[in-house]
């Protein structure tokens, strides 16, 4: 059976690639995971319970920091993969696996579902063996990146349809968070690093989030699933509560 290297560089990749990893392992293949410790990537892997090796670090908000972190991680990924005799590689948007795969002659597939990340795709599409994308992306948009059949493979639908195909919601979460299931519940996705957002956008997002949580049909309770306070949303919510009390 094959030895396969899967590189995970942000939290979404854990969710997207987990079904494929499990299918490969069920087929008898040996799958090795590497992960960039960004946001909740390693936390999701810990929750899954699959062994992995953390490689790299977050470069911060500056372009220089990001560039240094990216270059450092590629070198670390090369050192990790060298000598392991991987038969194949798989990643969703990783900018490390395709170049390392090319240098070490490891055939690999790169996946993505957003065609306008030009710099990333100029690199990955040319260095990868296969480019796997949803058929919602017109093939002609990927030709400038060097992705054409047979290198380019398109699958029907969207990736969410695959990894959520057998999803069953856990309703006990509402009770754990102390939410009233008879009222409307709004879920707001916050940025991994709130400080990376422009100040004006943060303020608008905080006000909108508070209004959604405390507004029409809401319970007025602002809850974060990670158990920490949300200062911006909380402050905006308190202002909204005081305004209601005066009115």
Same domain, 147 and 74: yes
Question: In the chain, how many domains are there?
Answer: 2
Same domain, 13 and 115: yes
- The arithmetic mean of pLDDT across residues 226-241, rounded, is 48
Same domain, 122 and 79: yes
pLDDT at 60 over 70: no
Token pair, residue 200, equals 């004006």
- The residue from 124, 140, 163 where one domain ends is 163
pLDDT at 91 over 70: yes
| Continuous segment of H or E residues that includes residue 204 | helix 199-214
What is the predicted pLDDT for the residue at 192?
Answer: 55
Please, what sign has the CA dihedral across residues 153, 158, 160, 165?
A: negative
Same domain, 176 and 131: no
Q: Please provide residue 92's backbone torsions phi and psi, each rounded to the nearest 5 degrees.
A: -115, 95
Identify whether the C-beta of residue 63 lies closer than 8 Å to the C-beta of residue 100: no
Under the banding of pLDDT at 50, 70 and 90, the label for residue 219 is very low
- The arithmetic mean of pLDDT across residues 47-62, rounded, is 85
Residue 214: which domain range?
172-246
Q: What is the pTM of this model?
A: 0.71
Q: What is the C-alpha separation between 28 and 43, in angstroms, rounded? A: 26
Same domain, 34 and 131: yes
Same domain, 111 and 208: no
- The arithmetic mean of pLDDT across residues 2-24, rounded, is 95
Same domain, 195 and 96: no
Q: Is 132 strand, coil or helix?
A: strand
What is the predicted pLDDT for the residue at 228?
Answer: 46
DSSP state for residue 133 in the 8-state scheme: E
Among the listed ranges 31-40, 72-81, 110-119, 223-232, which one has the minimum average pLDDT value? 223-232
- The residue from 133, 163, 193 where one domain ends is 163
Q: What is the C-alpha separation between 9 and 56, in angstroms, rounded? A: 10
Same domain, 16 and 100: yes
DSSP state for residue 75 in the 8-state scheme: H
Same domain, 34 and 130: yes
Same domain, 205 and 125: no
- The residue from 163, 180, 202 where one domain ends is 163
Give residue for tokens 């900018």.
95
Same domain, 42 and 157: yes
């Amino acid at each position: 059976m094959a030895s396969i290297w899967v590189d995970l560089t942000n939290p979404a990749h854990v969710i997207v690639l987990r079904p494929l990893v499990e299918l490969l392992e069920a087929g008898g293949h040996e799958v090795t995971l590497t992960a960039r410790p960004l946001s909740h990537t390693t936390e999701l892997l810990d929750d899954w319970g699959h062994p992995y090796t953390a490689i790299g670090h977050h470069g911060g908000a500056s372009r220089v920091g990001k560039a240094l972190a990216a270059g450092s991680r590629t070198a670390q990924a090369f050192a990790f993969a060298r000598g392991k005799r991987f038969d194949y590689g798989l990643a969703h948007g990783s900018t490390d696996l395709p170049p390392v795969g090319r240098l070490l002659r490891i055939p690999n597939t790169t996946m993505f579902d957003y065609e306008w990340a030009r710099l990333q795709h100029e690199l990955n599409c040319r260095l990868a063996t296969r480019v796997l994308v949803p058929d919602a992306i017109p093939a002609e948009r990927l030709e400038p990146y060097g992705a054409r059949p047979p290198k380019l493979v398109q699958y029907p639908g969207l990736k969410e349809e695959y990894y959520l195909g057998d999803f069953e919601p856990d309703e006990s979460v509402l009770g754990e968070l102390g939410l009233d299931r008879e009222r409307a519940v709004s879920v707001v996705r916050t940025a991994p690093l709130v400080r990376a957002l422009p100040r004006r956008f943060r303020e608008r997002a905080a006000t909108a989030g508070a209004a959604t949580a405390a507004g029409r049909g809401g319970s007025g309770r602002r809850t974060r699933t990670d158990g920490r306070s949300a200062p911006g949303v909380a402050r905006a919510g308190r202002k909204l509560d005081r305004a209601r009390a005066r009115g």
